[in-house]
Amino acid sequence: MDTADATVRPADAPLAFRPATEADVDGLVALIESAFRGDASRAGWTTEADILGGQRTDPEGVAAVVRGENSRMVIVERAGELVACCQLEHRGDHAYFGMFAVRPALQGGGLGKVILAEAERFARAEWGVTEMHMTVISAREELIAWYERRGYARTGRMTPFPYGDERFGVPRRADLEFELLVKSLG
């Protein structure tokens, strides 16, 4: 079954969080792709389809996070179905948050807030970190505003988009770059 397109019932079932395994990689790639790329991503509000084509990630990239010594790929399930995921990486005094994807049909209902809060709780409690860091494409103003409402601050620290490396997508604009967002977990 393609978990990115599955219908999840019941909507009020509790969320279950667990670390991903190698067996989860294909489902995770499908979920991440569905949330950000192609026409299917337009069902949600996190689509990057207008600024990037091609892939968002690949099995090798997701498997590297799953196997990483200082990282954790978190699976979020409801009633046994994959509904969301995120990457956490322990980087000394802070954690990095990435590969955050919610099934497009479930976006906008508060699920993302719950998952982000759980990721922050885990990083603070399990790793003792004092900050959460993430990078967001600076052109994604609506997404950045969503993170700002959850306590993340724009730093103005930019890194270039990896133009020419199709593992990260095929840019549809020439002005893409990543901005570092930071939140204190103290």
The DSSP letter of residue 43 is G
**β 94-102/131-137 pair status:** parallel
pLDDT at 41: 87
Whole-angstrom distance, CA of residue 133 vs CA of residue 184: 9
Per residue, the 3-state secondary structure of 80-93, as one string, reads: CEEEEEEEEEEECC
The DSSP letter of residue 6 is P
Residue pLDDT, tens place only, 2-45: 344 444 445 678 999 999 999 999 999 999 999 998 888 888 88
pLDDT at 39: 85
pLDDT at 70: 96
User: Vertex 147, ends 143 and 149: CA angle to 5°?
Assistant: 115
Report, as an integer, the average pLDDT of 54-64.
Answer: 93
Residue pLDDT, tens place only, 124-151: 999 999 999 999 999 999 999 999 999 9
Q: How confident is the model at residue 51 (pLDDT cuts 50, 70, 90)?
A: very high
pTM summary value: 0.89
pLDDT at 10: 55
Residue pLDDT, tens place only, 63-121: 999 999 999 999 999 999 999 999 999 999 999 999 999 999 999 999 999 999 999 99
At residue 103, the 3 state secondary structure works out as coil
Structure token pair of residue 137 = 């494409």
* Helix segments in 8-110, DSSP class H: 25-36, 59-67
pLDDT at 9: 47
pLDDT at 11: 64
